[in-house]
Structure 1
Amino acid sequence: MAVETGAGTQAIERAISLLSCFSGTTNELRSSELCAKTGLGQSTVSRMMSTLDRLGFVVQNPRTGLYRLGPMAVTLGSVALNSSVVYRAGRQIAQHLAQVTNLGVNLAELNGRALFYLCNFEGTGSPKSFTMAGRSAPLHATGLGKAVLSGRSAEFVRDYFRSELATAFTPHTITRPEDMTTALTEIRDRGYATEVEELAFGRACLAAPIRGRTGEVIAALSISGPLSAIDLPRRQQLLGSRLIEAVDEISVALGYVPTPTAGPPHAVHVHQNAN
C-alpha cells in the first residue's frame, strides 16, 4: 500500500511539474521542450501528457504537435478566483474604476513575498491583449507591491531585501532597503503609492492598499497605463482621490471597520495628494 501511495504521489508531482511549464510567455510547448524543462524522459512525458489531454487539462494541436493548457485548467482557475474574497469584493469596483478613468485597473493580493494578480480591466487609454490574472510580480518594483509593503512590518521589508528578491528591472527600480523605507513613509502619509518606469519603461501607476477585517493590508488596487495616458503631472491628484475611494469601498466590503475617530481607511489622506 505504501508503494502505491508513493507512486501516486510521484505521478501527481510529475503532472503538476508538466502543467507548471506553461506560462504567459511560453503558452505552447513541444514534448521535447517539456522533457528539457522537467528532466522527465520522453516516454513518461508522452504518457502523462496523453492522460492530461484526455482529462482536458491540456490540448494538443494535431497539426503542429504543440500542447497548450486546456479547458479544465480554465475551469479550475475560475473556481480559485471566485473563492477569493478579495476578488469578489473588488471585481466590480475595479471594473467601474477602469471605465471612469479610461485606464488600466489591477487588483492583486499578497502571496508569500510576491504579488498575485486577481484581475485587471483595460480602459481605452491602456489596452491589453492579455489578462494579468494569475500572474505574479515583485513587491519592490510595482506600485501594487509598494502599497502592500506599506502595511507590512519593518522586519518583513528587511527580510524581503535580504532575500535578494529586489533585483533591478530598470534604472528607476528601488533596490536599497533605505530607499524603500523612505518611499513607504511617503506612501503612508499620502495614502497611495506611485511607480514610474520602475518595472517597465514607458509605464506608470498609482496603487493603494486594501485592508481586511482585522485592518491588516492584504491586497492592493492600482490605476496604470502608458506615461502619456496616465499623465501623472496633471492627473495624479484626481486619480489618487478616485483610487482611495475605491480601495476604501473594497476594504469596507471585506469587513474592515474604521475606528470612529479615524473615519474611512484613507479619509485623512484624500486632500493631501502630491501634485
Structure 2
Amino acid sequence: MATIDEPRSGARAVDRAIEVLNCFEGDDPELSVSELAQRAGLPISTTHRLARALVRGGLLEQDPGTDRYRIGHGLATLARPALTRLGLDEVAPHLYALAAGIRITVSVSLIDDHDAVTVFQARPPVAFCHHQVPRARQALHASATGHALLAYAPTRAAADLDLDRVRRTGFASELIETEDPIRALAVPIVGPHRQVRGALAVQARAARLDSELVRAVVPAMRIAAGRIAPLFQTTGGTALSTAELRSR
C-alpha cells in the first residue's frame, strides 16, 4: 500500500509547492507565511514547511529581518532558457531604451489561453512608481493588452468597436478605474504575414499619461514594436498566426 500512496503524496506536495510559488505572481511582493497560507488556501503549518523547502532549493528567499518570503534567484536561473527561447535577450536592450526615453515601465505580453500574460518588464531609471506595473494576467477581451493581441484576428465580432479602433489607430487604450485611475496603452508586435507575436504595453497614472503624453508615447512604442518584431521570429513557436487567434 505504501508504494501506491507515496507517489500520490509526492505529487500532492509538488502541486502545493506550485500553489505557494503562484502566490508571488504579479508585483514582486514579499509575503508572510500567514499571507502565503491564505493566498494558497493551505494550513499555515503546511505552508511553512513548503516555504522552507523552497528556500533551501533557492526558489524562495526569506528576509532575515522580517521573516517575509520573496522570489529567489534560483527561479531566475531556471527561467533563463525560456527567456532566451522567447528572444527576450535580444529584445531587452530595445525595451530598456524605450523605458528610459518615455520614463515609463515597458512590458511585453504573450497569449496564454484566454489571457494576456506579462513575460518581461523594463523599468525606467527614473520616474518609476507601482502604478506602472501591470497585472500578471489580463483577460484578452477586457484589457488594452488583450485588444492589441486580438485586433488582427481575421474572424471577429462585426460590432467589435474596440478592435476596430486598434486597427484604425494602431494602439489600444484602457482606463483602469481605481482610486487613482490608471491609463494603459498597448501596441501589437506584428511579424510577417500579419502574425501577432505579442504586445508592447505601458501604463501609468491617468493624470500623468494624459492625451498629450499619449500622442508622444504611442509613436515611440510603435517604432520599438517594429524593431523587436523580427527578433521574435526565431523563438520557436511563440508567434501566433491570425488563424490561431481566430479560435480564442
Query: Equivalent residue of 1:151, what SS?
Result: coil
Which of 58, 64, 86 matches 1:56? Answer: 58
Gaps of 5+ in 1: 159-176, 257-275
Secondary structure of the residue aligned to 1:103 is: coil
**Aligned equivalents of 1:115 and 1:22: distance in 2?**
17
Structure 2 contact 133–203 (Cα < 8 Å) conserved: no
Of 200, 209, 218 in structure 1, the residue corresponding to residue 197 of structure 2 is 218
Aligned to 1:139: 140
Cα deviation for residue 22 of structure 1 reads 3.2
CA RMSD after TM alignment: 3.5
Residue 255 of structure 1 is aligned with which of 233, 236, 240? 233
Quote the Cα distance in structure 1 between the aligned partners of 2:202 and 2:36. Answer: 37
Deviates more, 1:62-71 or 1:126-135: 126-135
Helix, strand or coil at the partner of 1:219 = strand
Greater radius of gyration (CA): 1
Distance 1:235 1:59 in 2: 39
For these two proteins, the number of residue pairs brought into alignment is 230
Pair 1:106-2:134 in alignment = no
Aligned equivalents of 1:94, 1:123: Cα separation in 2: 10
Q: Report the Cα distance in structure 2 between the residues aligned to 1:194 and 1:134, rounded to whole angstroms.
A: 15
CA separation of 1:228/1:125 partners in 2, compared to 1, >3 Å: closer, same or farther? farther
In 2, Cα distance between equivalents of 1:138 and 1:199: 16
Is 1:230 the counterpart of 2:209 in the alignment?
Answer: yes
Q: Secondary structure at the match of 2:194?
A: coil
Task: Encode CA deviations 1:171-215: one digit per residue, 9 max, x unaligned.
Answer: xxxxxx95xx112112112222233x2355443343210124553
TM-score (norm 1): 0.67
3-state secondary structure, aligned to 1:14: helix
Task: Report what 1:19 is aligned to.
Answer: 21
| Aligned-partner SS, 2:23 | coil
**In the aligned structure 1, how far is the partner of 2:105 from the partner of 2:38?**
37
SS at match of 2:233: coil
Structure 2 CA distance for aligned equivalents of residues 83 and 100 of structure 1: 27
Query: 2: distance between equivalents of 1:39 and 1:104?
Result: 32
CA distance in 1, matches of 2:79, 2:215: 36
Q: Which runs of 5+ in 2 are unaligned?
A: 235-248
Q: Which amino acid aligns with 2:61?
A: V
Q: Retained in 1: the 8 A contact 2:100–2:124?
A: yes
Q: For the structure 1 residues 207 and 34, does the alpha-carbon distance in structure 2 shift closer, same or farther, using more than 3 Å as the test?
A: closer
Question: What residue identity is the alignment partner of 2:225?
Answer: V
Q: 1:243 aligns with which of 214, 218, 221?
A: 221
CA distance in 2, matches of 1:79, 1:217: 22
For residue 218 of structure 2, give the secondary structure of its aligned residue in structure 1. Answer: helix
Give the aligned partner of residue 191 of structure 1.
Answer: 170
Q: Secondary structure at the match of 1:100?
A: helix
Q: In the superposition, relative to structure 1, how do residues 19 and 237 fare at CA in structure 2: closer, same or farther (>3 Å)? A: closer
